[in-house]
C-alpha cells in the first residue's frame, strides 16, 4: 500500500488582510501553511485603518463600486465576482462580527473596531493549522529557489511548494508596507510599476498668516471640481496644504496631472447648495456700513476658514467686483504643487502589473509564485474599496495556488 501523499506546503509572506485571507483559503483547502511577517505582529496597518472606524466595504451597486478602481476596474471585476462586498460581509458574520451600513453607504462592524475582528480571525486561522512567524523579513530567493528570510537568529532558507506574496504597497513603512520587495521582484524579471502616493494630501504653499490661523481646520460642505471629477464633501487645511476624504477621492488624477504638468489647479465651490445666480445676487446686495466679511457671512454664509481661503487665494481687486467675487465663491482656484511623500499616504498606486499575472494572480515568469493585495498595480479611494480588493485578491491568489498545486499533482512525472 502506498503511503498517503503529504499535503502541499505553502508560504504566505505578509500578514495583512490579503495574506491572511490567502492563508485561510489554503489551510481550508488542505495545505500546510506558514505565514511570515517582518513586523512583531500581523495586521498592523489593518488595525491602524480601523482606529477611526473599521470601514470594511461599501454597499453601493456593482457598477459604481467597480468604477472606483478607475483604469484597473477590468482587472478587479473578476476578482470581485469571486468574492464581493456581500461575500465579505457574510464572511465577517461567520467570525461573529455583525456589520451595518452607515449613512454614507459604507459598511462597518457594529462596534466600529478592527481589533475584535482580527482577534477572532487569527484564532480561527490558528485552529485551522496556520503557523505564524513574525520578525521574519523576506530577502528573496537563493540559487536553488528556496526562500531567504532575515530573522533574529540570522538568515534562514526554507523551501515550499508554492508562495503567496502579500507584502503591501509602499506607504506606512513603520507598519511594514515599505516596498522593499520591489527590487527583489524586478531582479527576477517581474514588471513592477513605480510605487506612488495614493489617497494622499498635497502641498499648496500657504502664507505664514493663513497657516498660523487655519492649519488643522476642516472645510466642510464644499465641492471639488477637477476635470471630470465633481464631488461634494470635506477636507482639512494642513501646515503644508490640504488633505482629507474629498482630496483623497481625486488624488490619483491630481497626482498624475502634477507629474505630467508640474502642478494641478482644482476648483472649490464654497457654496455648493446655491447657484451662481443666487450667490451673485447675495454678494451684490447693498451692504451699507457693514464690512465685507460681515456682509459675506450674513448674505452668502461665507465665514471662518472659507472666508480665509478667499482672502488667501484671490487678488484684492476681486473683492471690489461682486460678479468676480461670486464667481470665485463658486469656483475658487487652488493650485496644488506636489503630493505629500509616499510614506504619509494612506495607500499606494503602482506595483506588480496585472499583465505580469495570470487570471489566478500567479506570476507568469515565476510559476508557483502568486501576488495579492496592495502590492498589485491598482488604486481606489477610501470608503471600503481598498480593503475589499485586498481581501478578494488574497482569496483568489489562495484558490489559484491550490488549483496550480492540484494540477501539478495530476501531471505525469518524467519517470512515468
pLDDT value at residue 312: 96
pLDDT value at residue 296: 79
Of 286, 311, 339, which residue is a domain's last?
Answer: 339
Nearest to residue 213, comparing CAs of 306, 331, 302, 295? 306
C-alpha cell at 67: 468604477
C-alpha cell at 142: 537563493
Tell me which residue range forms the domain holding 386.
Answer: 9-195+349-410
pLDDT value at residue 359: 97
Of 293, 320, 339, which residue is a domain's last?
Answer: 339
Of 318, 339, 360, which residue is a domain's last?
Answer: 339
Neighbours of 201 (CB within 10 A): 24
Q: Is residue 4 part of a domain?
A: no
Assess whether 236 and 141 both reside in one domain: no
E strand or H helix at 123, and its extent?
Answer: helix 115-127
Q: Out of 23-37, 207-221, 275-289, pick the least confident.
A: 275-289
- Tell me the average pLDDT of the chain: 93
pLDDT value at residue 413: 53
Residue pLDDT, tens place only, 277-325: 998 888 888 777 677 778 777 777 788 999 999 999 999 898 888 899 8
Q: Report whether pLDDT(151) > 60.
A: yes
Q: Is residue 2 part of a domain?
A: no
Neighbours of 179 (CB within 10 A): 21
Assess whether 271 and 368 both reside in one domain: no
Nearest to residue 44, comparing CAs of 111, 135, 123? 135
Please calculate the CA angle 374-86-46 and round it to the nearest 5 degrees.
Answer: 35
pLDDT value at residue 176: 87
Residue pLDDT, tens place only, 29-73: 999 999 999 999 999 999 988 777 899 999 999 999 999 999 999
Assess whether 256 and 151 both reside in one domain: no
Assess whether 109 and 246 both reside in one domain: no
CATH of the domain at 380: 3.50.50.60
Mean pLDDT of 226-233: 94
pLDDT value at residue 414: 47
pTM: 0.91
Q: Report whether pLDDT(257) > 90.
A: yes
Assess whether 32 and 101 both reside in one domain: yes
pLDDT value at residue 412: 61
Q: Report whether pLDDT(415) > 60.
A: no
pLDDT value at residue 57: 96
- Residue 11's pLDDT band, with cuts at 50, 70 and 90, is very high
Residue pLDDT, tens place only, 170-191: 988 888 889 999 999 999 999 9
Amino acid at each position: 500500500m502506498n503511503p498517503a501523499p503529504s499535503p502541499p506546503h505553502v508560504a504566505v509572506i505578509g500578514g495583512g488582510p490579503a495574506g491572511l485571507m490567502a492563508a485561510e483559503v489554503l489551510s481550508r483547502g488542505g495545505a500546510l501553511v506558514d505565514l511570515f511577517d517582518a513586523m512583531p505582529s500581523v495586521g498592523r496597518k489593518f488595525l491602524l485603518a480601523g482606529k477611526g472606524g473599521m470601514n470594511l466595504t461599501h454597499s453601493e451597486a456593482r457598477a459604481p463600486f467597480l468604477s472606483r478602481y478607475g483604469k484597473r476596474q477590468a482587472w478587479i471585476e473578476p476578482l470581485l465576482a469571486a468574492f464581493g462586498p456581500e461575500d465579505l460581509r457574510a464572511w465577517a458574520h461567520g467570525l461573529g462580527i455583525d456589520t451595518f451600513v452607515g449613512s454614507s453607504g459604507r459598511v462597518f462592524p457594529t462596534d466600529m473596531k478592527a481589533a475584535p475582528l482580527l482577534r477572532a480571525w487569527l484564532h480561527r486561522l490558528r485552529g485551522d493549522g496556520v503557523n505564524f512567524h513574525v520578525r521574519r523579513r523576506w530577502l528573496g530567493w537563493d540559487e536553488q529557489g528556496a526562500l531567504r528570510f532575515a530573522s533574529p537568529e540570522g538568515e534562514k532558507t526554507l523551501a515550499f511548494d508554492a508562495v503567496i506574496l502579500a507584502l503591501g504597497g509602499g506607504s506606512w513603512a513603520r507598519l511594514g508596507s515599505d516596498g522593499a520587495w520591489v527590487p527583489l521582484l524586478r531582479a527576477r524579471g517581474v514588471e513592477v510599476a513605480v510605487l506612488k502616493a495614493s489617497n494622499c494630501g498635497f502641498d499648496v504653499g500657504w502664507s505664514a498668516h493663513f497657516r498660523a490661523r487655519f492649519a488643522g481646520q476642516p472645510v466642510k460642505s464644499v465641492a471639488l471640481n477637477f476635470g471630470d471629477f465633481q464631488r461634494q464633501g470635506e477636507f482639512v487645511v494642513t501646515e503644508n496644504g490640504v488633505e482629507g476624504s474629498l482630496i483623497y477621492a481625486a488624488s490619483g488624477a491630481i497626482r498624475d496631472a502634477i507629474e505630467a504638468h508640474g502642478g494641478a489647479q482644482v476648483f472649490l465651490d464654497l457654496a455648493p447648495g446655491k447657484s451662481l445666480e443666487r450667490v451673485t445676487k447675495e454678494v451684490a446686495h447693498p451692504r451699507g456700513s457693514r464690512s465685507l466679511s460681515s456682509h459675506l457671512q450674513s448674505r452668502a454664509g461665507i465665514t471662518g476658514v472659507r472666508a480665509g481661503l478667499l482672502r488667501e487665494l484671490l487678488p484684492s481687486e476681486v473683492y471690489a467686483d461682486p460678479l468676480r467675487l461670486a464667481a470665485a465663491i463658486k469656483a475658487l482656484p487652488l493650485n496644488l504643487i506636489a503630493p505629500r511623500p509616499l510614506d504619509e499616504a494612506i495607500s499606494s498606486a503602482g506595483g506588480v502589473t496585472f499583465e505580469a499575472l495570470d487570471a489566478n494572480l500567479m506570476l507568469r515568469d515565476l510559476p508557483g509564485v502568486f501576488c495579492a493585495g496592495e502590492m498589485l498595480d491598482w488604486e481606489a479611494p477610501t470608503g471600503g474599496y481598498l480593503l475589499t480588493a485586498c481581501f478578494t485578491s488574497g482569496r483568489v491568489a489562495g484558490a489559484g495556488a491550490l488549483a496550480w498545486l492540484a494540477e501539478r499533482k495530476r501531471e505525469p512525472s518524467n519517470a512515468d
